[in-house]
Amino acid sequence: MNIAMLGSGFIGRFYADSLQGYRSKDKIVSIYSRKTESARKFATDYRVATATTNMEEAIARPEVDVVCISLPNHLHEEAVMLCVKHRKAVICTKPLGRNATEAQRMMEAVEQADIFNGYLEDLVYTPKFIKAYESVKSGALGRILWAKSRETHPGPHSDWFWDIEQAGGGAILDLGCHCVEIARTYIGKDIKPVEVMCWADTQVKPIEAEDHAIGLVKYENGAIGQFEVSWTFRGGLDLRDEVMGSEGTIWINGFLRTGFEMFTSGKGANYVAEKAESNSGWVFPVGDELNELGYNHMFADMFNAMESKQQPRETFYDGYVVNAILDAAYKSARTKQWEPVQLDVWRGRTGVTKDSHLDSYDDDHYLVKEEVTHYGARKWILKNKKTGKIIERVDA
């Protein structure tokens, strides 16, 4: 694939390292940056033929197959509409929009133009997530009841993140988009999110947006998604997931403490890992950052789908649903009550209620719990189907 990269900053360079390294047959052929010196530096570092400060010029070049948007949030819609104008396949960093209204316009535009669209939600492509999700799909955890995702760190790298007008929000939009899609995928992307309860505050940073938030997302089948996000966490980048089902549990530590620990006085120390706060003392390097953060698998999925003329796992529709959930979270943070998720477009199942989850022990009783005691007896806790009375039965 010949790629036009829009954005030469932190995420653009992460993307470029993966794009030109993993499949070894994809190449960035044009780079757009708002700053001439940044465009030129990126072009030199990644051997890109064309560098420009004109976004449309970077997109419209005839050799470009796909446009990768790694721009500040407020520029996503402009870039997408130019891709539609020139009928270029487009993949866009998260969040898709600053809100669901923007995201819906972008989604409808690319679909009406019938151009390939991919949503670059890297954290559902990490090796640990992929392995965990395969276990969930196979039924190893049974019916998913609760899925929690946490992303916290000391704050983003670029100035525009801290400007609520350009970014559209704070930690909820920046980090919550990851957490919501992770939990939504575990629970089932065809299960409708119905309402959100969220607490958010600005605890530390001198900004208008929130720097810390916790939210609950209720799904139509009774499952609960939970997100914890912060720009105030000290100690590095903390990525953790927990999934609980009727038959099992998964715990994942995705980045901060992954089994690689090192002590150094700081002599000769340099970069450790994304958002690491120190390069001396006990530090926690990451073996293969691009892979651990999901970039390699993400771009492989995008380009393989493009070549086979299929949809990738994450599309603009997914970005739209995430934006709609986060809109409800922002409203709940203001009203301090459960707020409905407004989805003008829903493509999953409808009318889903709580699945029947009561296991029968016999014709007259439901099974509440079965266990073996420390003294070797087998015990069953039972509920009478007619009277509701709870009893226990013991096989000594």
Q: Taking residues 105-118, what's their average pLDDT?
A: 98
Report pLDDT digits (tens) over 17-60: 999 888 888 999 999 999 999 999 999 999 999 999 999 999 99
Residues 295/122, Cβ–Cβ less than 8 Å: yes
* Nearest in space to 246 (alpha carbons), one of 146, 355, 147, 143: 143
**pTM to 2 decimal places:** 0.91
Q: What tokens appear for 242 in the block?
A: 């927990």
Residues 115/89, Cβ–Cβ less than 8 Å: yes
Domain with CATH 3.30.360.10 in the chain: 124-290+314-340
What pLDDT sits at residue 275? 67
Residues 99/323, Cβ–Cβ less than 8 Å: yes
Least confident of 79-93, 185-199, 332-346, 368-382: 368-382
Amino acid at position 371, single letter: E
How far lies 143's CA from each of 129, 222, 352, in Å? Answer: 18, 11, 14
* Nearest in space to 180 (alpha carbons), one of 167, 193, 169: 193
**φ and ψ of 144, to 5 deg:** -75, 125
Is the model's pLDDT at 170 over the cut of 80?
Answer: yes
Architecture of domain 2-121: 3-Layer(aba) Sandwich (3.40)
What pLDDT sits at residue 124? 97
Domain with CATH 3.40.50.720 in the chain: 2-121
What pLDDT sits at residue 273? 67
What residue spans of 93-170 are helical by DSSP H?
100-113, 127-138, 164-167
Question: Given its phi and psi angles, is residue 338 left (phi above 0), alpha (psi -120 to 50 degrees) or beta?
Answer: beta
d(CA 68, CA 333): 33
Give the CATH class of 124-290+314-340. Answer: alpha beta
Residues 103/69, Cβ–Cβ less than 8 Å: no
d(CA 319, CA 70): 15
Q: pLDDT-derived band of residue 132, with 50, 70 and 90 as boundaries?
A: very high
Report pLDDT digits (tens) over 271-287: 766 667 777 888 888 88
Residues 31/48, Cβ–Cβ less than 8 Å: yes
What pLDDT sits at residue 290? 87
Which residues, listed in sequence order, are joined to residue 120 by a DSSP beta bridge? Answer: 93
Report pLDDT digits (tens) over 204-249: 999 999 999 999 999 999 999 999 999 999 988 999 999 999 999 9
Is the model's pLDDT at 262 over the cut of 90?
Answer: no
Is the model's pLDDT at 177 over the cut of 80?
Answer: yes
Q: Taking residues 378-384, what's their average pLDDT?
A: 94
Place of tokens 């065809």: 190
Q: pLDDT-derived band of residue 355, with 50, 70 and 90 as boundaries?
A: low
**Full 3-state SS string of 375-388:** CCCEEEEEEECCCC
What pLDDT sits at residue 276? 72
Q: SS3 breakdown of the chain: % helix, strand, coil, rounded to 5?
A: 35, 25, 40
